[in-house]
Amino acid sequence: VSAFQHLEQAPEDPILGVTVAYNKDPSPVKLNLGVGAYRTEEGKPLVLDVVRQAEELLIQDRSRYKEYIPIAGLVEFNKLSAKLILGDGSPAIGEKRVATAQCLTGTGSLRVGAEFLSKHYSQHIIYIPVPTWGNHPKIFNLGGLSVKTYRYYDPRTSGLDYEGMLEDLHAAPPGAIVLLHACAHNPTGVDPTQDQWEGIRQLIRLKGLLPFFDSAYQGFASGSLDADAYSVRLFVGDGGECLIAQSFAKNMGLYGERVGALSIVCRSATVATRVESQLKLVIRPMYSSPPIHGASIVATILSDRNLYYNWTVELKNMADRIISMRHQLYDALKARGTPGDWSHIIKQIGMFTFTGLNKDQVSFMTAEYHIYLTSDGRISMAGLSSKTVPHLADAIHAAVL
């Protein structure tokens, strides 16, 4: 008898499980709108040209080895990543107040950040929005933090519950950590306005809460790297502290390369140096040091003027295609006279539309139309194309009638 005989079959991951179900469906019209990965108009995954070019350069360079890199990752990559999110000429960088560690993408950066906070920060409560990316509570719990929630999405308006959010943050204990989606909130696609961000910032600073930004979509949401970094730069601009988990999965299409960074913006250079030394102690027993390849690609692109420029063009193309899918889907529902106000499809931002479809409607669309999405009604706009919009619109129409 096996030592593991007592194990029960674990459920599929709620998001990745959608793809498992999709793969099993033999229908030729099946459509996977579950996972958040970019697809071309032809429905294919995309490797950016600049990524291919950077890889060529890396392969040709015979002086490169496969030696271990430092515990906190490639120094050049860390500098460039911090500059990308905080902006050229950021005083925090100039004053050497930022400690950055290359981590295993957004997920790994959040996890390292959580463990660092649970070891070295006085308050272990982290507030996350309702709803949020399903992995957030699990990452923070396992990282040693205690998870509480703040109101975020208002289903009545398909928009932000700004008052509710402020009330909940106001009631948070002093010093509590607050997880904020830097832009393109997942799954709702609802972001605060600039004025609302300012209100949130004032409250967080007034109450001495500690902001932890999750930046998984910089440049991918609006097509502009600067516009999508607005919230982070607003907070860093006031001189206060925060954490930032950065992912290059979407904006450079480097999903499986697992490349990202955790930056901790501190009050002083002295503190930042100590923070970095402690981050290394968190990382070393976890995985010793991060992988080389993805971070080398990113560093190559970010440090070369031409590659950088071409990246911004390719990034904008991806963002624009997603925005155009929003308009096409909205128009298709209007044309069908589908009951309901669907304007949130064009108002929401980023990779996802939070349709408002309920669990039963989603099951119906999967059973009758072979369309796969998460049961909360979230659809990945990047998985759509001009050819598949009519099929999705037919399915939504039938589901809500």
Catalytic residues: 133, 214, 250
Determine if 133 is a binding residue for ligand PMP (CB under 6 A): yes
Nearer of residues 135 and 324 to ligand PMP, judged by Cβ: 135
Determine if 186 is a binding residue for ligand PMP (CB under 6 A): yes
CA distance 66 to 153: 46
CA distance 53 to 280: 32
Nearer of residues 221 and 393 to ligand PMP, judged by Cβ: 221
Q: Which of residues 197-226 bind ligand PMP (CB under 6 A)?
A: 214, 216
Cβ count near 78 (within 10 Å): 23
Nearer of residues 189 and 260 to ligand PMP, judged by Cβ: 260
Lay out the site mask for ligand PMP across 224-263 (x = CB under 6 A, - = otherwise).
-----------------------x-x-----x----x---
As measured in angstroms, the least distance from the Cβ of 127 to ligand PMP is 15
Considering only the stretches 99-107, 269-277, 289-297, 300-308, report the one whose residues sit in contact with ligand PMP under the rule CB under 6 A. 99-107
Determine if 328 is a binding residue for ligand PMP (CB under 6 A): no
Spatial neighbors of 97 by CB under 8 A, at least 6 apart, are 265, 266, 267, 268, 269, 271, 272
As measured in angstroms, the least distance from the Cβ of 298 to ligand PMP is 13
Determine if 181 is a binding residue for ligand PMP (CB under 6 A): yes
Q: Which residues of 151-160 are buried (b: 16+ CB within 10 A; e: fewer)?
A: bbbbeeebeb
Q: Which long-range contacts (CB under 8 A, 24 or more apart) does 328-336 make?
A: 328/384, 328/386, 328/389, 329/353, 329/381, 329/384, 329/389, 329/392, 329/393, 332/389, 332/390, 332/392, 332/393, 333/393, 333/396, 333/397, 335/393, 336/393, 336/394, 336/397
Closest CA to 87 of 188, 226, 201: 226
As measured in angstroms, the least distance from the Cβ of 76 to ligand PMP is 20
As measured in angstroms, the least distance from the Cβ of 215 to ligand PMP is 8
Q: Which of residues 15-74 bind ligand PMP (CB under 6 A)?
A: 36
Q: Which of residues 143-162 bind ligand PMP (CB under 6 A)?
A: none
Nearer of residues 97 and 181 to ligand PMP, judged by Cβ: 181
Q: How many amino acids of this chain bind ligand PMP (CB under 6 A)?
A: 13
As measured in angstroms, the least distance from the Cβ of 337 to ligand PMP is 33
Cβ count near 27 (within 10 Å): 10
> For residue 173, is the peptide bond before it cis, meaning its omega torsion is within 30 degrees of 0?
no
Closest CA to 366 of 341, 340, 337, 391: 391
Q: Which of residues 106-125 bind ligand PMP (CB under 6 A)?
A: 106-107
Q: Which residues bind ligand PMP (CB under 6 A)?
A: 36, 105-107, 133, 181, 186, 214, 216, 247, 249, 255, 260
